[in-house]
C-alpha cells in the first residue's frame, strides 16, 4: 500500500467542504450512487517475512468466507508466522460469533432463542443478551427505523432468496403482524428474552457483522496488534490504529454512479465505517426503484435513498446506523447522528428530482458530483 497512507482520490475530483448548508450538513447536488464503500489499498509488491525483530513490521492480508460474505483482515506484524497466528485467532473469533448469531445455523444461540422465546422466557449468556439489548435500543432510538424483527417482511418481499417482488396484501399484513421490536421483552435480572407475539424472529443481520468485527478487533488488540483493518464484504470496516506514519487507513467512498471516482476518502483510525446501498440490490415496479432495505415502519422498501456511509466508534454501531439512516432519510438521519459523539454520515439521495449528497458531521472533503 502507499506508505503515506493517502487515499487515491483524484485531486481534481475533490472539493473543499466549505459549502456547508445549515446545521444538517452539506448539500451537493447531482449524484447517482452505485457502489458500497470501496477499500483502495494497494499492496507493496514484496511482503517481507524476515524473522528479525528489529526490522519494521510488514503488512499482511488474509481473506476468508464468513458471515455470508468475505471477511478480510490487513495487519502489520513482524513475521509471516506471527501474522498467520493472529489471522487464525481473529478468524476463529469471527467463527465463534457467527456460530452464536447466525439464523442460517440451526445450532446457533439465536436459532435456539427464535424457536423457544415465544413459548417461554429463554436465558442467554451476557454477550448475546447484551447484543440483543443493544439492537432493541437502536429500535427505540431510531423510532423503529432499525428493527431486528424485520425478517418476515424481508421474506414477504422476497429478499431472502429471490430478487424481490411486490407481495400480496394478505402476505404483507400477515408479515406485519410478526414484526415489531417492542414485542421482545427483556429481563436483565434473569437475563431472559421473551417474545410477546407469536411468529416473531430475531435476525441480527443488520448489526451482527459489525459486532463480529468488533470482537475480532478486540482479540487482535489483546494480542498486541496496534495497526490493522478488518472488513466484512466492503460494507463494514473496523480500523485499529493506522498504518505506520499514516493518519489512518484510507477508505474510499465511491461516487455511486461512477465507482472509479471517489466521493470522499476517509482516514479511518480506531473507528468503524459502514455503508448501505441500494445500487446493486433493488427491483423495479412500474419505473419505481425499490431497494432491498425495508422500512419497518411502513413495511415497504425504502425509495429515494441510494447510499449511506456512517462512521462510528464501533462497527456494531456503524453497522446498525447505516441501515437505520438509510430508512430514516435526511432529517431523521441528521437528528440521530448529531446526537452521537464521534459519529458522522454521508448520504446520497436520489428521490427522482434533486440528486444530492448530505454530509452530517463529516469532516473529510466531499467531491462534487458529475452532472
Distance CA 239, CA 230 (A): 6
Judged by CB under 8 A, the residue of 1, 84, 177, 186 near other proteins is: 84
Binding of residue 64 to other proteins (CB under 8 A): no
Q: Which stretch binds other proteins (CB under 8 A): 26-34, 115-123, 234-242, 263-271?
A: 115-123
Binding of residue 222 to other proteins (CB under 8 A): yes
The H or E element containing residue 26 is strand 25-29
Judged by CB under 8 A, the residue of 6, 15, 70, 126 near other proteins is: 126
Q: Which stretch binds other proteins (CB under 8 A): 34-42, 101-109, 158-166, 171-179?
A: 101-109
Q: Which stretch binds other proteins (CB under 8 A): 33-41, 121-129, 132-140, 290-298?
A: 121-129
Name the grid cell of 115.
424457536
Binding of residue 223 to other proteins (CB under 8 A): yes
Binding of residue 224 to other proteins (CB under 8 A): yes
Judged by CB under 8 A, the residue of 106, 245, 341, 353 near other proteins is: 106
Cα distances from 269 to residues 19, 228, 232, 248, 249, in angstroms, run 25, 9, 17, 5, 6
β-pair type (288-291, 20-21): unpaired
Distance CA 197, CA 103 (A): 19
In 3D space, the residue among 292, 276, 289, 290 whose CA is nearest the CA of residue 325 turns out to be 276
Binding of residue 89 to other proteins (CB under 8 A): yes
Least Å distance, CB 248 to other proteins, is 25
Tell me the sheet residues that pair with 76: 59
Q: Which stretch binds other proteins (CB under 8 A): 126-134, 136-144, 241-249, 324-332?
A: 126-134
Mask for 305-344, x = binds other proteins (CB under 8 A):
----------------------------------------
Residue 55 Ramachandran class (φ > 0 left, ψ -120 to 50 alpha, else beta): beta
Q: Kindly determine how many residues on this chain lie close enough to bind other proteins according to the rule CB under 8 A.
A: 30
Least Å distance, CB 227 to other proteins, is 15
Give the CA count within 13 Å in the CB-facing half-sphere of 302.
28
Binding of residue 116 to other proteins (CB under 8 A): yes
Q: Which residue has the cell 455511486?
A: 256
User: Which parts of 130-159 interact with other proteins (CB under 8 A)?
Assistant: 130
Judged by CB under 8 A, the residue of 88, 187, 331, 351 near other proteins is: 88
Residue 310: helix, strand or coil by DSSP? Answer: strand
User: Which parts of 148-207 interact with other proteins (CB under 8 A)?
Assistant: 190-191
Binding of residue 112 to other proteins (CB under 8 A): yes
Judged by CB under 8 A, the residue of 34, 96, 183, 269 near other proteins is: 96
Q: Which residue has the cell 464521534?
A: 342
State which residue, 96 or 247, has the beta carbon closest to other proteins. 96
Judged by CB under 8 A, the residue of 26, 74, 82, 203 near other proteins is: 82
Longest dimension (CA), the chain: 68
Binding of residue 111 to other proteins (CB under 8 A): yes
Judged by CB under 8 A, the residue of 6, 20, 44, 115 near other proteins is: 115
Distance CA 335, CA 169 (A): 33
Binding of residue 80 to other proteins (CB under 8 A): no
Residue 233: helix, strand or coil by DSSP? Answer: coil
| Surface-to-core class of residue 53, CB atoms within 10 Å of its CB (0-12 exposed, 13-18 middle, 19+ buried) | exposed
Binding of residue 108 to other proteins (CB under 8 A): yes
Binding of residue 123 to other proteins (CB under 8 A): yes
CB neighbours of residue 280 within 10 Å? 9
Distance CA 184, CA 75 (A): 39
State which residue, 163 or 187, has the beta carbon closest to other proteins. 187
Q: What is the DSSP letter of 42?
A: P
Q: What is the DSSP letter of 158?
A: T
Q: Which residues bind other proteins (CB under 8 A)?
A: 81-82, 84-86, 88-89, 96, 99, 105-109, 111-112, 115-116, 123-128, 130, 190-191, 222-224
Amino acid at each position: 500500500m502507499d506508505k503515506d497512507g493517502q487515499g487515491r482520490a483524484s485531486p481534481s475530483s475533490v472539493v473543499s467542504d466549505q459549502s456547508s448548508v445549515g446545521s444538517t450538513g452539506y448539500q451537493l447536488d447531482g449524484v447517482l450512487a452505485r457502489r458500497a464503500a470501496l477499500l483502495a489499498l494497494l499492496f507493496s509488491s514484496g511482503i517481507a517475512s524476515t524473522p528479525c525483530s528489529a526490522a519494521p513490521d510488514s503488512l499482511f492480508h488474509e481473506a476468508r468466507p464468513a458471515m455470508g460474505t468475505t471477511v478480510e483482515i490487513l495487519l502489520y506484524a513482524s513475521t509471516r508466522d506471527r501474522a498467520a497466528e493472529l489471522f487464525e485467532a481473529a478468524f476463529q473469533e469471527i467463527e465463534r460469533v457467527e456460530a452464536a448469531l447466525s439464523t442460517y445455523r440451526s445450532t446457533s444461540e439465536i436459532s435456539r432463542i427464535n424457536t423457544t422465546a415465544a413459548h417461554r422466557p429463554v436465558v442467554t449468556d451476557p454477550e448475546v443478551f447484551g447484543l440483543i439489548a443493544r439492537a432493541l435500543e437502536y429500535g427505540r432510538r431510531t423510532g423503529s427505523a432499525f428493527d431486528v424483527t424485520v425478517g418476515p417482511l424481508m421474506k414477504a418481499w422476497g429478499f431472502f432468496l429471490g430478487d424481490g417482488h411486490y407481495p400480496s396484501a394478505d402476505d404483507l399484513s400477515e408479515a406485519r403482524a410478526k414484526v415489531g421490536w417492542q414485542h421482545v421483552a427483556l429481563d436483565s435480572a434473569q437475563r431472559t428474552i421473551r417474545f410477546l407475539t407469536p411468529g416473531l424472529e430475531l435476525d441480527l443481520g443488520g448489526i451482527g457483522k459489525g459486532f463480529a468485527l468488533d470482537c475480532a478487533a478486540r482479540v487482535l488488540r489483546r494480542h498486541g496488534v496496534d495497526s490493522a483493518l478488518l472488513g466484512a464484504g466492503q460494507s463494514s470496516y473496523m480500523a485499529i490504529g493506522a498504518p505506520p506514519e499514516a493518519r489512518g487507513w484510507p477508505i474510499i467512498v465511491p461516487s455511486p454512479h461512477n465507482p472509479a471516482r471517489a466521493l470522499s476518502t476517509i482516514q479511518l483510525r480506531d473507528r468503524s465505517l459502514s455503508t448501505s446501498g441500494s445500487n446493486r440490490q433493488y427491483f423495479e415496479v412500474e419505473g419505481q426503484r425499490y431497494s432491498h432495505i425495508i422500512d419497518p415502519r411502513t413495511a415497504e422498501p425504502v425509495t429515494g435513498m441510494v447510499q449511506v456511509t456512517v462512521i462510528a466508534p464501533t462497527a456494531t454501531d456503524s453497522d446498525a446506523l447505516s441501515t437505520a439512516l438509510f430508512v430514516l432519510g435526511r432529517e431523521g438521519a441528521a437528528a440521530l447522528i448529531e446526537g452521537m459523539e464521534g459519529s458522522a454520515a454521508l448520504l446520497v439521495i436520489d428521490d427522482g428530482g434533486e440528486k444530492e449528497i448530505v454530509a452530517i458531521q463529516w469532516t473529510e472533503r466531499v467531491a462534487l458530483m458529475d452532472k
